[in-house]
A = this chain, B = another copy of it.
Amino acid sequence: MFKAISAKTAALLDKELMSTGAFSIDQLMELAGQAVAKAIYKEYPPTDKNQKVLVLVGPGNNGGDGLVCARHLKVWNYAQPVIYYPKRPQNELYMNLTKQLSDMGVEQLHDLGQVQSLLKGTSVKVIVDALFGFSFHPPIRDPFNDLLKYLSDNNAELPPIVSVDIPSGWDVDEGPGECDIGASMLVSLTAPKPCSEKFMAKGKAHYLGGRFINDDVALRYGIEDYIKLYKDDSLIAKLS
């Protein structure tokens, strides 16, 4: 039986973890991004470390998860991450995460033309969609509208897209909206959001990550059944 947490509940949980729960955003983002990298490694095992992983980075925490994911994939020699991060708020953590990538020689793209050029080659193994998370509300603003439209229109020719928490452009409750990027895999963080049910119905890969809450908190938020799905010391669980 599918049991999701709403965007409102997910926001409350984040707020609780970072206030009375005493977690820092640095900690949670590190674990979330690491879990996304683990899920990618498992679902699409590495083949050639000279291949590329294009990480599309949004302006908020979903983007931060993507930056952390890119770093772990780089450190694990999975492939060469390349980031496209067009809107960069003056946020110290995001700036630090970006600096960590620059120090590791991670390439950065600056406009949609560069993204399209990269994707026209054959060397991109996976696209990571870390654009928008559960707090996204339409409309999709510039420059993300053109990017999402491009992904949506060219889905059949593109490498698999892995979405972080929700497929970008989807409504967190309702699912596909004005465009559907056609993600092949979803990594739900902490617990699936309502739109995940529509994603799972498509028979695509679905992982759970962000194993940082304890049984009591899980019980209070009604997601204890998900927490039980993690095996041993695994940081991810495959749901479908």
Assess whether B75 is in contact with A214, with CB atoms less than 8 Å apart: yes
Whether A30 is near chain B, meaning CB under 8 Å from some CB there, is yes
Q: Which residues of A, 95-125, contact B by the 8 Å Cβ criterion? A: 95-97, 99-100, 103-105
Give the complex CA separation of A211 and B20 in angstroms: 30
Chain B residue with Cβ nearest A234: B76
Interface residues of A in 15-34 (CB under 8 A from B): 20-24, 26-27, 30-31, 34
Residues on B with C-beta less than 8 A from A211 are 75-76
Q: What 1/0 flags go to A176-219 for Cβ under 8 Å of B?
A: 00000000000000000000000000000000000111101100
**Residue A170, interface by CB 8 Å:** no
Copies held by the complex = 2
A103 to B103, CA, bound (A): 37
| Cα A21 to Cα B71 with chains together (Å) | 13
Give 18 A-B contacts (CB < 8 Å), ordered by A residue: A20-B103, A22-B95, A22-B100, A22-B103, A23-B96, A24-B26, A24-B93, A26-B30, A27-B30, A30-B31, A37-B233, A41-B232, A41-B233, A46-B232, A75-B211, A75-B214, A105-B214, A105-B216
Instruction: Give the interface size class of chain A.
Output: 35 or more
A24 nearest CB neighbor, chain B only: B26
Report Cα–Cα, A97/B30, bound state, in Å: 15
Q: Which residue of B lies closest to A18 (CB)?
A: B96
Q: Cβ of B214 and Cβ of A22 under 8 Å apart?
A: no
Considering only residues 113-159 of chain A, those with a C-beta below 8 Å from chain B are none
